[in-house]
Amino acid sequence: MGTSTLRIVHVVSSLNGGGMEHFVLRLAEAQRRHGHEASILALRGGPLAELARQRALPVTVLGGRLPARVAHAALAFARSRPQVIHAHNPTALHYATVGKVLTRARLVFTDHAQTRGIIRVPSRFEWRATDAVVGCSQDTADKSGAVGVAGNISVIHNGIDITPARRTREEVRAELGFGAGPAAQSEPASPSGGAFLGIMPAAFHPVKAHDVLLRALSRLRDRGVAVTVLIVGDGDERDRIHGLARELGIHGKEARFLGFRKDVPDLLLAADFFVLPSRDEGLPLAVLEAMARSLPVVVTPVGGVPEVVRNEEHGLLVPVDDPGALAVAIERLARDPALARRLGEAGHARVRDDFSFEKMTRKYEQLYLGLR
């Protein structure tokens, strides 16, 4: 590509509030800061459409049924005349391929491994049309055959930039009905000393294993360990997970459901620890964001997570689908503030040094410019 200023269109399935969608907004915003003409084409709308508007990001939402959606996509690509089309999941790749055929743009696909195994597998034609495939972690690249990828795959680890909190920790905790909390004290959490406050920001999908967290919280309650987790997000599994929390007697108590929120940075600042017991992942941005804010993390060793978190060094790794082990790990942090601080500080240094959003953005830019 003979120019350093590029017209880039990012293609996503929706503008729902998941980690991948947030990632795309941030990447497009960073690319515009670097002087590129970056925009977003989404098959469906969602709550992030308003956030994109606030950030002055050009967004086209296709909507409608399949034939009309393809026609709308073709018109959008013809108008924007992109030099690079960047698809962020297999469904989006279908529409990105339409753009490639019409405009002869270079086509990039990033496998975020958000829904591996439950989404469409791209056709051979779509893979032949793709000029570069990127895995968001080495594990994702190694498993790329799950979505039909053939050939060489680059690895560009996800990176993050830190969105500043708008309120203080004390203000947010007061709004939620909590005091200063164990993170501001040297004593372990206890029923009399106030709950140890965790956070799990994740869409309600089976792969995120909200059910495992709820069963762990039930065990902690039965053992007299005062822990509350803020569960942030929405999704298809919402009603089932709310029902399980009621069945376990922890709904609104140990498990506080906040729905979709735009103030996740504030909520992370208010929390004492982060938890994500996923059954599968790519390289979850939520984990990086928590570590960047010095929160100790309790996570499962799936996908690219072990490429970031070394057990007992940057956080605690627990087996998949094991509520007992998850409860034990959370209790360790609740009863040992020194351990929580050590893990949080090490996690912060890890993300600061190796997973910056600026470094990741520059790697994508180099990839685009190197395409022929």
Query: pLDDT tier at 219 (50, 70, 90 boundaries)?
Result: very high
- Beta-bridged to residue 59, according to DSSP, are 40
Quick count: other Cβ atoms within 10 Å of Cβ 25? 20
Query: pLDDT tier at 15 (50, 70, 90 boundaries)?
Result: very high
Query: pLDDT tier at 301 (50, 70, 90 boundaries)?
Result: very high
Percent of the residues in the chain that have a pLDDT greater than 90, as a whole number: 75
Query: pLDDT tier at 17 (50, 70, 90 boundaries)?
Result: confident
pLDDT in tens, 45-65: 999 999 999 999 999 999 888
DSSP 20-36: HHHHHHHHHHHHHHTT-
Please give the domain boundaries of the chain with CATH numbers for all domains: 7-161+356-370 (3.40.50.2000), 169-354 (3.40.50.2000)
pLDDT in tens, 109-151: 998 875 444 456 788 899 999 999 999 989 888 887 656 666 6
Pairing of strands 7-12, 84-87: parallel
Angle subtended at Cα 74 by Cα 69 and Cα 80, rounded to the nearest 5 degrees = 125
pLDDT in tens, 241-274: 999 999 999 999 999 999 999 899 999 999 999 9
pLDDT in tens, 65-90: 888 999 999 999 999 999 999 999 88
Q: What is the pLDDT of residue 117?
A: 45
Quote the mean pLDDT of the chain: 90
Q: What does the alpha-carbon distance between residue 128 and residue 228 come to, in Å, rounded to a whole number?
A: 49
Q: What does the alpha-carbon distance between residue 136 and residue 119 come to, in Å, rounded to a whole number?
A: 18
Residue 194 has pLDDT above 90, yes or no: no
Q: What does the alpha-carbon distance between residue 334 and residue 197 come to, in Å, rounded to a whole number?
A: 9
> Are the CB atoms for 304 and 137 separated by under 8 Å?
yes
Q: How far is CA 65 from the centre of its chain?
A: 28
Q: What does the alpha-carbon distance between residue 326 and residue 324 come to, in Å, rounded to a whole number?
A: 5
Pairing of strands 297-299, 84-87: unpaired
Closest CA to 361 of 29, 71, 112, 69: 29
Quick count: other Cβ atoms within 10 Å of Cβ 339? 15
Angle subtended at Cα 245 by Cα 243 and Cα 250, rounded to the nearest 5 degrees = 145
Quick count: other Cβ atoms within 10 Å of Cβ 265? 18
Q: What does the alpha-carbon distance between residue 318 and residue 178 come to, in Å, rounded to a whole number?
A: 27
Q: What is the pLDDT of residue 34?
A: 94
> Are the CB atoms for 276 and 254 separated by under 8 Å?
no
Residue 360 has pLDDT above 80, yes or no: yes
Pairing of strands 227-232, 132-135: unpaired
Look up residue 298 and give its two tokens: 């309790």
Closest CA to 286 of 43, 65, 19: 19
Q: What is the pLDDT of residue 116?
A: 47
Query: Which of residues 239 and 194 earns the better pLDDT score?
Result: 239
Angle subtended at Cα 286 by Cα 189 and Cα 168, rounded to the nearest 5 degrees = 55
Residues in CB range of 357: below 8 A, 6 or more apart = 26, 30, 159, 160, 161
Q: What is the pLDDT of residue 225?
A: 96
With residues binned 3-state (H G I as helix, E B as strand, rest as coil), the percentages for the chain, rounded to 5, are 45, 15, 40
Look up residue 10 and give its two tokens: 């990012």
Q: What is the pLDDT of residue 122?
A: 85
Q: What does the alpha-carbon distance between residue 90 and residue 96 come to, in Å, rounded to a whole number?
A: 10
Look up residue 179 and give its two tokens: 């005091």
Query: pLDDT tier at 188 (50, 70, 90 boundaries)?
Result: very low
